[in-house]
Amino acid sequence: MTRLILVRHGETEWNRQLRFQGQVDVPLNATGHEQALRVARRLASGEVHRVVSSDLARARQTAAPLAELLARRGGPDPIESAALREQSFGVVDGMSVDEIKRLHPAAWNDWVDFRADYAFEGGESTRRFHGRVLQGLRELANAHAGETLVVVTHGGVLDMVWRSARARSLDGPREAHIPNAGVSQVQVLVKDDAHRLDILDWADIAHLEGMPPQPVYDQARLAEIRQRVPLA
């Protein structure tokens, strides 16, 4: 059994602009750095064996304050994993919704169908992304069995975890609430060659009390609008 404390990275300016960040290396903004400090203070008092993060800057910067606290106690250096990167959106990485609609209207209409095998040009399909994420988590669970890991990653990665644990389809819009710097906990049970994910807690933001409201990327609303508005 391996316990994963999953943290979505702190806020970036592109989060506020509702841009598709994908694998563009966007740093945290001032709010994101404050969120990272609050995550560190919250988790430092619990049992944590090591910190793992996506190798993208926004995740590394979110993980850094907690990793520094653990290092002062003689804990191990943080691990960075490319397997925990956000989904690649190819040609639309870095674009806002309005920009995608204007520059790639057909691709946008396909995207908001939320089909598991669809990918923007040069990007990853949800199915391929899911496979990458689950393989990365399986490798972590095998390498650190019995430990508690803090894993700092991205909204899309957490969506793949939630869908797997809840046995939800990869088709369809995101259902899980995944706030910046939210803390979720899952258990990974490894038995023979099988792995099972069990959610213990999800999207706790008690440590962010008093901070500004977060930007919300609502896939369910986008899908609803897509159904009501005929294709151009």
Taken as a whole, the chain contains a residue count of 232
- pLDDT for 229 equals 53
DSSP state of 89: -
Write down the catalytic residue from 47, 86, 139, 144.
86
Portion of the chain with pLDDT greater than 70, in percent: 96
If pLDDT is split at 50, 70 and 90, which confidence band does 35 have? Answer: very high
Q: Is the pLDDT score of 145 beyond 60?
A: yes
User: Is 144 considered catalytic here?
Assistant: no
**What mean pLDDT comes out for the span 47-74?**
96
* pTM for the structure as a whole: 0.95
- pLDDT for 157 equals 98
Q: Is the pLDDT score of 232 beyond 50?
A: no
Write down the catalytic residue from 9, 104, 130, 144.
9
List binding-site positions for substrate. Answer: 8-15, 58
Query: What DSSP element (H or E) covers 150?
Result: strand 148-153
If pLDDT is split at 50, 70 and 90, which confidence band does 68 have? Answer: very high
If pLDDT is split at 50, 70 and 90, which confidence band does 220 have? Answer: confident
Domains defined for the chain, CATH in brackets? 2-228 (3.40.50.1240)
- pLDDT for 87 equals 98
List binding-site positions. Answer: 8-15, 58
- pLDDT for 195 equals 82
Here the tokens at position 154 are 């991205």
User: Is 9 considered catalytic here?
Assistant: yes
Classify strands 183-191 and 194-204 as parallel, antiparallel or unpaired. Answer: antiparallel
Q: Are 36 and 201 in contact (CB under 8 A)?
A: no
- The predicted-structure confidence for 155-192, as pLDDT tens digits, reads as follows 999 999 999 999 999 999 999 999 999 999 999 988 77
Q: Output the CA–CA distances (angstroms, integers) from residue 122 to 89, 119, 125, in the order listed.
A: 7, 8, 10
